[in-house]
Amino acid sequence: MCDNNRRVVVTGLGVISPVGNSIQPFWNSLIEGKSGIAEITTLDASEFDSKIAGEIKDFNPQKYGISARDTRRMDKFVRYAIAASKQAIEDTGIDLDKANKDRIGVLIGSGIGSLQVVEREYAAYLKGGPSRVSPFLIPMLIVNEASGWVAMTFGFRGPNSCVATACASGSHAIGDAFKIIERGDADLMVAGGTESSITVMALAGFSSLRALSCRNNQPQKASRPFDRERDGFVMAEGAGIIVLESLEHASKRKADIYAEIAGYGMSCDAYHITAPDPKGEGASLAIEAALRDAQLNPGDIDYINAHGTSTKLNDKIETMAIKKSFGAHAKKVMVSSTKSMVGHLLGAAGGVEFVVSCLTIKNNLVSPTINYEYPDPDCDLDYVPNTARKAEVRAAISNSLGFGGHNATLLVKKFKR
C-alpha cells in the first residue's frame, strides 16, 4: 500500500518525439491530432514490407549541452535520454548547485539499446578484422548507458539503474523510481524510457514477426489503434523522461507540481514470448495492482492511456483486460492511444505516455486516438476518436505491455495537499 507519509509527485517533464522535441510542441501536436509517421529517411527501406516509421526530426545534440566529442561516444538512444532529462530537470526549476546530489537518482529504461552500433561495428569487423572494431562498442550499445550518462552529465550520485522489459521498460522504470522515493532511498529521481532502433535488423526482425503496418501509401493513417482495419504497429524513436520528487522535498523548494503518482502495478502473462495472454488476465492483474496501491476504485479513474499498439491481438486483448478490471465503468472511462500519432517507441513508449497522462490531468484535456474510422466489435470502448476532448480528469492510468509477457500500469492523480 502507498505510504501517505511518503507521497511522490511529478515536477518535471521532458520529451523527444516524432511530433516535437519539447513539451509544448509535443502536446500541441497531440491535441491537434497530428501524426509524426512518414517514410523512413535514415536507411534504405525499399526491400522491406514496411517502409514507414516515426523518426526524430531536427535533433541537435549540442543544443542540449552534449559536446561533439561525447556525441561520438554515445548512441542516439543515450542522446535522446540526456536531452529529455535536461528538459525535465530544467522544468522543475531546481537549483542543482544547492541540491544534495547524493539523494538524486536516475532510472531509465530501454527495450533494445543500440542496434545501430552493433550493425556498424560488425560491418567494420567483416571488412578489417578485430582491430577495426571501436573500443566504444560495448559502452555504446548496452542499455544501462542512458542512466549512466544522465547521472554523469548532472552529477547525480543517488540510486541508479535501468530496466529492460521490452515495451514496458519506460513504465517499469518510472514505477520503480516511484517506489525508491516512497521507501525513502532518494528525494528526487529522473526516470522514463528511451529508444532508437529504426535499423535494418530491427525492421527485418519485426517484419518477420508480421508485427508492422504495411500501409506505406498512407503513412499518417498507418497507426490506427482499436480500428477494425489496423494491420500492425509503426516503429518510432525518442524519449520520455519525468522528474519525481517526494512531496516533502518538492514542498520545501515550492516546486510547481503536475500531478501525484499514487499507484504502480506489474505482472507477467506467463503465456508466450511475443503474444499477449488471450484472456487479458496478465494485463488486468497489473491494472488491479495499481488501483490497490493507490487505494482507489475503478470508478475513480477518468482516463486510460492505453498501450494501444494498432496490432490485431494487442488492442483486442487490452480492451478485454480493461473490461475485466473496470467492470461496468469500462464503458464510461475515456481511453486513447498516443501511438496513433507518434507510433510505437518500444522501450520509450511508457515514458512518453506517462508524460501524456500528466499533461492530461494538468490540462483536463484528453488527446485523441486518431485514424479511428471503422469500429471493431472486439474493441467497444470510448477511444476518444479523432478529436481531443475537454473533460475533468481526476485520475488516470497508463498501461504498457511488453514482449515476454511483461505488464506495467502506472496510476497518476490530481495533486491535492
In our burial notation (b when 16+ CB lie closer than 10 A, e otherwise), range 246-256 reads bbebbeeeebe
pLDDT confidence of residue 2: 44
Q: How many residues in total does the chain contain?
A: 417
Residue 249: strand pairing partners: none
Quick one: average pLDDT of 320-345? 98
Mean pLDDT on 398-402: 98
CA distances from 61 to 176, 268, 326, 395 (A): 28, 37, 43, 35
Judge contact between 246 and 7, C-beta under 8 A. yes
Helix (H) or strand (E) holding 146: helix 145-154
Question: What is the pLDDT, as a whole number, of residue 417?
Answer: 86
Contact 21, 83 (CB under 8 A): yes
User: Is the pLDDT confidence value at 343 over 80?
Assistant: yes
CB 300 within 8 A of CB 262: no
Gap between the Cα atoms of 205 and 48, Å rounded: 11
Q: Which three three-digit cell numbers place residue 289? A: 495492482
Mean per-residue pLDDT of the chain: 97
Other CB atoms within 10 Å distance of the CB of residue 147? 28
For residue 121, is pLDDT > 90? yes
Residue 3 confidence (pLDDT) above 90 = no
> Residue 181's CB: how many other CB atoms inside 10 A?
27
**φ, ψ at 395 (rounded to 5°):** -150, 145
Q: What pLDDT is attached to residue 147?
A: 98
Active site residue ranges: 167, 307, 344
Q: Is the CB of residue 40 less than 8 Å from the CB of residue 18?
A: no
In the chain, where the domains are located: 8-252, 265-413
CATH superfamily of 265-413: Thiolase/Chalcone synthase (3.40.47.10)
Nearest CA-CA partner of 240 in 109, 57, 403: 109
Of residues 294, 291, 403, 343, the one with CA closest to residue 18: 343
Query: Rounded to an integer, what distance in angstroms lies between the CA atom of residue 227 and that of residue 343?
Result: 15
Cell representation of residue 301? 479513474
Q: pTM of the prediction?
A: 0.97
Q: CA-CA distances (angstroms) from residue 33 to 28, 343, 350?
A: 9, 13, 19
Find, among 400, 342, 404, 371, the residue nearest to 15 by Cα: 342
Give the strand pairing for 8-16 and 238-246: antiparallel
What would the CATH number be for the domain defined by 8-252?
3.40.47.10
> Would you say the CATH fold of 265-413 matches that of 8-252?
yes
- Taking only the tens place, the pLDDT of each residue in 152-207 is 999 999 999 999 999 999 999 999 999 999 999 999 999 999 999 999 999 999 99
pLDDT of residue 1: 40
- pLDDT score of 285 more than 90: yes
The letter for the amino acid at 324 is: K
